[in-house]
């Protein structure tokens, strides 16, 4: 196999660490992981690859142009997989500035560093270089029933109205309509990547994926939050009526899909990645409660802990991905069903108390900050 050097940004995060582990454990490629180590970055998620000679970690901010130029010069990557981002919607509502900085400005800085480096390459190495930008299905906005009904009735009432933009599944052609500061910042970064491909010819690829879940997920996100709250006997806060629908994908299936796109995808193309697992948030929480009841039985039902709380402003009702292009063109299908993936996830949290306790009580972060001078 042709051994390549992958530059992974955000490799200490939830999905990035899954990509790094997959590349080091199941391929012969080299990995350079560049991560700023924000609150969401955790090198303990990479303990299994830390000592591997094909793995290098560099602590840096993707917004630092000089650091990014140096990184390309020193490590001469063949493939960039750009995952570094601020990723939590609630945090983007409380404070959007960091999202604009990292997701928009950071992506522009990285694109410029990649372009400068790519321009310095010649022949086969230049032809083979790839810049893969990892994005979200949230850029497409809301597939909520009300919008679909409204747009269909509008279409019916006018002979000349163009086809509406709301399909029952997001395809690669669905127009962008982001709702939150997070999704707007990711949409902006997608536009920048397309512009760098079209204007400068930079060989880029974009993937837009649905909600991920699995091991090493920071416990502010729905699934780990519910598992850990339930184990602690704390309330399980469900936004609004809990009927928001998300399409769930097991993180290791996403990591395999990303590597396929980075190595086999067609330059300039976008690929939607999803798990064919549309579930209402309340169903997810109830399923978790039932799994916990089976694995950690207790007298009172975990479902009794469910508490409905005020909905998030601008909360999208439904996301759902048409991932048929991934299957048709790259032969990728997820290996896990929602049931097998969720069981693996709960079992992982039960077996890895040290990891999440150190994240929860801040001792991981304290130690890390102490070690950076
Ligand atoms: P995460 O928040 O777990 O990890 C993000 C990582 O980026 C962290 O390690 C953090 O330290 C690092 N980072 C943040 N700002 C940085 C900066 N300025 N410079 C360098 N590193 C920085 O996020 P995740 O859930 O792993 O998501 C990874 C990517 O996948 C994101 O781009 C996200 O938009 C996208 N995505 C996520 C999901 C999901 O369900 N989590 C779904 C689709 C797409």
Q: Residue 81: CB within 6 Å of ligand 1? A: no
* Poorest-pLDDT segment among 27-41, 147-161, 342-356: 147-161
Per the residue annotation, which of 35, 137, 252, 322 is the catalytic one? Answer: 137
Confidence at residue 1, expressed as pLDDT on a 0 to 100 scale: 62
pLDDT on residue 144: 79
pLDDT tens digits, residue range 183-210? 999 999 999 999 999 999 999 999 999 9
Query: pLDDT higher for 338 or 157?
Result: 338
303: pLDDT strictly greater than 60: yes
How much is the mean pLDDT over the chain?
92
- Which residue has the CA at smallest separation from atom 37 of ligand 1? 136
pLDDT of 145 reads 55
pLDDT score at 155: 35
Say if ligand 1 is within 6 A of residue 255 CB: no
Q: For residue 277, is pLDDT > 50?
A: yes
**Cβ(63) to ligand 1 under 6 A?**
yes
Would you state the pLDDT for residue 157? Answer: 35
Q: What is the 118 CA–ligand 1 centroid distance (Å)?
A: 24
138 is catalytic: yes
Identify any residues that bridge with 318 across adjacent strands, giving them in sequence order: 245
SS (H, E, C) the chain: CCCCEEEEECCCCHHHHHHHHHHHHHCCCEEEEEECCCCCCCHHHHCCCCCCCCEEEEECCCCCHHHHHHHHHHHCCCEEEECCCCCCHHHHHHCCHHHHHHHHHHHHHHHHHHHHHHHHCCHHHHHHCEEEEEEEHHHHCCCCHHHHHHHHHHHHHCCCCCCCCCCCCECCCCCCCCCCHHHHHHHHHHHHHHHHHHHHCCCEEEEEECEEECCCCCCCCHHHHHHHHHHCCCCEEEECCCCCEEEEEEHHHHHHHHHHHHHHCCCCCEEEECCCCEEEHHHHHHHHHHHHHHHCCCCCCHHHHEEEECCCCCCCCECCECCHHHHHHHCCCCCCCHHHHHHHHHHHHHHCHHHHHHHHCCHHHHHHHHHCC
Stretch 233-253: mean pLDDT, rounded? Answer: 96
* 182 labelled catalytic: yes
Is residue 41 within 6 Å of ligand 1 at its C-beta? yes
Q: Which domains does the chain have, with CATH numbers?
A: 5-361 (3.40.50.720)
pLDDT of 230 > 60? The answer is: yes
Q: Stretch 49-54: mean pLDDT, rounded?
A: 97
Q: Tell me, in angstroms, the distance from the centre of ligand 1 to residue 357's CA.
A: 21
- pTM of the predicted model over 0.85: yes
- Ligand 1 close to Cβ of residue 178 (< 6 A): no
By most ligand atoms within 8 Å of CB, the mutation choice from 32, 40, 71 for ligand 1 is 40
Q: What percent of the chain has pLDDT over 90?
A: 87
The whole-number average pLDDT for the span 286-291 is 98
- State the pLDDT confidence band at 159, using cuts at 50, 70 and 90: very low
Q: What is the pLDDT of residues 247-258, one digit of tens each?
A: 999 999 999 999
Ligand 1 pocket test target in 7, 10, 207, 261 with most atoms within 8 Å of CB: 10
Residue nearest to atom 27 of ligand 1 (CA): 15
Report yes or no: 175 and 165 within 8 Å, Cβ to Cβ.
yes
Return the pLDDT at 373. Answer: 25
List pLDDT tens digits, range 53-108.
Answer: 999 999 999 999 999 999 999 999 999 999 999 999 999 999 999 999 999 999 99
| Ligand 1 midpoint to CA 360 (Å) | 18
The pLDDT value recorded for residue 146 is: 42
First CA to last CA across the chain, in angstroms? Answer: 40
The half-sphere exposure of 29 on its side-chain side, counting CA atoms within 13 A, is 22
Q: To test the ligand 1 pocket, which listed residue (7, 17, 41) has its Cβ within 8 A of the most ligand atoms? A: 41
- The pLDDT-based confidence of 362 (bands split at 50, 70, 90) is confident
Catalytic residue among 22, 35, 61, 138: 138
Q: Which atom of ligand 1 is nearest to the CA of 62?
A: 19
């Amino acid at each position: 196999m042709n051994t390549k050097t992958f530059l992974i940004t955000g490799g200490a995060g939830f999905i990035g660490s899954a990509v790094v582990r997959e590349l080091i454990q199941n391929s012969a490629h080299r990995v350079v992981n560049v991560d700023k180590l924000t609150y969401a970055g955790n090198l303990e998620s990479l303990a299994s690859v830390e000592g591997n000679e094909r793995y290098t970690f560099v602590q840096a901010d993707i917004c630092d142009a000089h650091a990014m130029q140096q990184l390309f010069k020193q490590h001469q990557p063949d493939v960039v997989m750009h995952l570094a981002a601020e990723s939590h919607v609630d945090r983007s509502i409380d404070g959007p500035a960091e999202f604009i900085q990292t997701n928009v400005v950071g992506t522009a800085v990285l694109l410029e560093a990649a372009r400068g480096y790519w321009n310095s390459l010649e022949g086969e190495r230049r032809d083979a270089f790839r810049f893969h930008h990892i994005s979200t299905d949230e850029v497409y906005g809301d597939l909520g029933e009300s919008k679909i009904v409204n747009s269909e009735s509008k279409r019916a009432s006018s002979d000349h109205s163009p086809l509406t933009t709301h399909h029952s599944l997001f395809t690669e052609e669905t127009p962008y309509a982001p709702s939150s500061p997070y999704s707007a910042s990711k949409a902006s970064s997608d536009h920048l990547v397309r512009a760098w491909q079209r204007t400068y010819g930079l060989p880029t690829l974009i993937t837009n994926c649905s909600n991920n879940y699995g091991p090493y997920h920071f416990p502010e996100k729905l699934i780990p939050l519910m598992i850990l709250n339930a184990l602690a006997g704390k309330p399980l806060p469900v936004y609004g009526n809990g009927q928001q629908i998300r399409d769930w994908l097991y993180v290791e299936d996403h990591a395999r899909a990303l590597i396929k796109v980075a190595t086999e995808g067609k330059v300039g193309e976008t690929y939607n990645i999803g798990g064919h697992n549309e579930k209402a948030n309340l169903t997810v929480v109830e399923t978790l409660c039932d799994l916990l009841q089976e694995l950690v039985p207790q007298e009172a039902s975990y479902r009794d802990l469910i508490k409905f709380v005020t909905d998030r402003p601008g909360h999208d009702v439904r996301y759902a991905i048409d991932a048929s292009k991934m299957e048709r063109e790259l032969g990728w299908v997820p290996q896990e069903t929602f049931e097998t993936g969720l069981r693996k996830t709960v079992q992982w949290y039960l077996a890895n108390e040290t990891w999440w306790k150190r994240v929860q009580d801040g001792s991981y972060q304290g130690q890390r900050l102490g070690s950076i001078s």
